[in-house]
Structures are given as structure tokens and as C-alpha cells.
């Protein structure tokens, strides 16, 4: 993974973001930048506000204060937010696939939404992305007829079909077994190299995230505890980060047993 040059302007910039649910402050003064062409992994324990952070960035949740900028433009009003949504995609933790639509129709919808191009061009684009993600055989099936891994690939296919500049992945490996998790990270890394999109990846999988990401953002109780290169994160002596890394490793060692997978 290439590290961004210090002069690369940030594609996405988050400044002093704060979000509360009632008296509970979930995000507190969160600021960071995402340079173009990089994969930024947002790590942290459960309940530290990682998914809330993504939803505040894309406007699914309204932040209490702070600012999000995309290509230098603040996303304060609906038209600026629409600019982000037209050039970005989002992979939901639980996929959020359209269960009444076929695999093909799920992937077609983002292209129909943009409305540029002809139906023939859209069909070709859908077939191309389904082929890349090995889903062409399942084109006429419904999401409920697919395995967990295939559903995840479908969610990624839907996110990538419109050739986005920025992709948000919200825990893309949640609920998958270790082999499928590795496959998803490999897929994200490979697709990022091919399509050169910028990615913001929320995950619990520290080791895999370190392999595919150029930058790491560590959230602790809604605050940024670490923001830097993946190599710097690996070498960090912060007791919180080191403790988390050690715990994960210990757990992985304890659970390292052969796993059989379906598709």
C-alpha cells in the first residue's frame, strides 16, 4: 500500500465532530483527514463510535457540531451532501441489500440513480462487476438465496458498480468466519488497487486492517487516540493500543482451529 505524499490534499476532512445520544457523548472532538487514494481503517473497541462516525460523515446521522469537508467543500447543506453521495458508496455492516430485488437489480440501481448512460451500458457495467466478484452465476437469484460471503460480495459489487471515488466500509467482515474475513480484505485491497478508490474502513480486525490500510485511526471512547500510518500503529507503545493488539492475538491463538466454509 502506497503511503500518501505529504502534499496530497485530503479527499475527506473531518473537523471537531461531536455527537451525543441523550446525555451520552459518543463522538467527542473527532478530527482527521483521508488523503485521496488511501485506505484509512478506523479501529477501536465495540461501542467507541466507529459506525456512528461513518453515519455522521455521510449524513445518515446529524452531528451535534463539527464539520465534514469533501474535496475542500464543507458538507453543510443538502446539495453539497448530494455531491458526496453521488461520488461515494457505502457498504453496510449487515449489507442492506434490497431483498425483493435480484442480484442483478441490486447492482443496477446505483446506475439508474445516477441516470447517465443507456440501459445497455448499465447492463454491461453490472455484468462486468458481477464477473469481477464472481457473482455472474447468481445474477437472477435473490439475496436471501445467497451465502453470507456472497451477500457481502454483492454489497461490495453494488458499492463499486458506479465507480465511486470514495467507499465507506462499515465492518465488512462482521459475522464472517476467518477465511471469509481474509477473502473480504483481499478483495477490498485488490479492488482498491484496480479502481484506485479511497476507502474508509471500520473494522475490528486489527491484523488484517494493518495489511490493507495505509492509515489507521484509533478511536477510544469517542476520541481519536491514534491517527497515523499503519507502520506507526504497529510500533505504537500506547498501552491501550498495545493491550488491544495483544488481546486480539491471544484470542486468535486460542481459537485457531480448522474452519470449513461453504461457498
Partner 1 sequence: MAVARLGRFTLEKVSATGRWALFCAQALLRVRSGGEFGTRLVRSVFEIGVRCVPVIAIVSAFSGLVLGLQGHYVLARFGASGMLGTLVSLSLCRELGPVLAALMIAGQAGTALASELGIQRSTEQIDAIVLMDISPEGFLAGARLLASLLVFPSLTSLFVLIGVTGGWLSGCILMPQDSNAYWSAVHVALKSRDISECLLKALVFGLLTTSLCAYQGFNAHRSGEAGARAVGVATVRAIVLSSIAILAADYLITAALL
Phi, psi of 91 (to 5 degrees): -105, 115
For the CB of residue 105, give the shortest distance to partner 1 in the complex, in Å: 9
What's the CA angle centered on 71, arms 205 and 69, to 5 degrees?
70
Residue 259 sits in the site that holds partner 1 (CB under 8 A): no
The only residue of 96, 124, 259, 261 in contact with partner 1, by rule CB under 8 A:
96
Residue 82 sits in the site that holds partner 1 (CB under 8 A): yes
- Going 223 to 228 to 233 to 239, the CA torsion angle's sign is negative
List binders of partner 1 among 43-62 (CB under 8 A): 58-60
Residue 90 sits in the site that holds partner 1 (CB under 8 A): yes
**Among 233, 217, 240, which Cα is nearest to 32's?**
217
Inter-residue contact 157 to 107 (CB < 8 Å)? yes
The only residue of 31, 98, 231, 259 in contact with partner 1, by rule CB under 8 A:
98
Q: Measured from the CB atom, is 148 or 178 closer to partner 1?
A: 148
Inter-residue contact 116 to 52 (CB < 8 Å)? no
The only residue of 4, 44, 49, 110 in contact with partner 1, by rule CB under 8 A:
110
Assigned C-alpha cell, 188: 477490498
The only residue of 97, 129, 201, 224 in contact with partner 1, by rule CB under 8 A:
97
Three-state DSSP at 123 gives helix
Q: Measured from the CB atom, is 4 or 164 closer to partner 1?
A: 164
Window of 4-12, 84-92, 189-197, 223-231 that interacts with partner 1 by CB under 8 A: 84-92
Residue 86 sits in the site that holds partner 1 (CB under 8 A): yes
Residue 109 sits in the site that holds partner 1 (CB under 8 A): yes
| 68/106 Cα distance (integer angstroms) | 29
Torsion angle of the four alpha carbons 140, 143, 145, 150, in this order, in degrees rounded to the nearest 10:
100
Residues of this chain that interact with partner 1 (CB under 8 A) are: 58-60, 82, 85-86, 88-90, 92, 94, 96-100, 109-110, 112-115
Amino acid at each position: 500500500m502506497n503511503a500518501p505524499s505529504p502534499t496530497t490534499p485530503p479527499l475527506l476532512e473531518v473537523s471537531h465532530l461531536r455527537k451525543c445520544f441523550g446525555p451520552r457523548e459518543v463522538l467527542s472532538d473527532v478530527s482527521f483527514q483521508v488523503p485521496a487514494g488511501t485506505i484509512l481503517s478506523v479501529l477501536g473497541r465495540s461501542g467507541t463510535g466507529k459506525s456512528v462516525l461513518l453515519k455522521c460523515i455521510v449524513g445518515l446521522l446529524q452531528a451535534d457540531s463539527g464539520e465534514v469537508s469533501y474535496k475542500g467543500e464543507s458538507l453543510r447543506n443538502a446539495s453539497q451532501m448530494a455531491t458526496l453521495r453521488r461520488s461515494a458508496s457505502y457498504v453496510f455492516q449487515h449489507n442492506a441489500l434490497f431483498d425483493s430485488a435480484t442480484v442483478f437489480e441490486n447492482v443496477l440501481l446505483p446506475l439508474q440513480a445516477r441516470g447517465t448512460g443507456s440501459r445497455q451500458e448499465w447492463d454491461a457495467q453490472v455484468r462486468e462487476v458481477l464477473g469481477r466478484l464472481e457473482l455472474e452465476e447468481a445474477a437472477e437469484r435473490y439475496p436471501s438465496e445467497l451465502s453470507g460471503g456472497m451477500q457481502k460480495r454483492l454489497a461490495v459489487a453494488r458499492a463499486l458498480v458506479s465507480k465511486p471515488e470514495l467507499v465507506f466500509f462499515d465492518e465488512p467482515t462482521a459475522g464472517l468466519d476467518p477465511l471469509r474475513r481474509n477473502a473480504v480484505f483481499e478483495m477490498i485491497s485488490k479492488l482498491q488497487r484496480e479502481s484506485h478508490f479511497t476507502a474508509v474502513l471500520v473494522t475490528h480486525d486489527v491484523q488484517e486492517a494493518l495489511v490493507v490500510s495505509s492509515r489507521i485511526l484509533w478511536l477510544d471512547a469517542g476520541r481519536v487516540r491514534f491517527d497515523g500510518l499503519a507502520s506507526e500503529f504497529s510500533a505504537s507503545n500506547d498501552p491501550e493500543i498495545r493491550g488491544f493488539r495483544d488481546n486480539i492475538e491471544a484470542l486468535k491463538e486460542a481459537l485457531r482451529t480448522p474452519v470449513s466454509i461453504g461457498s
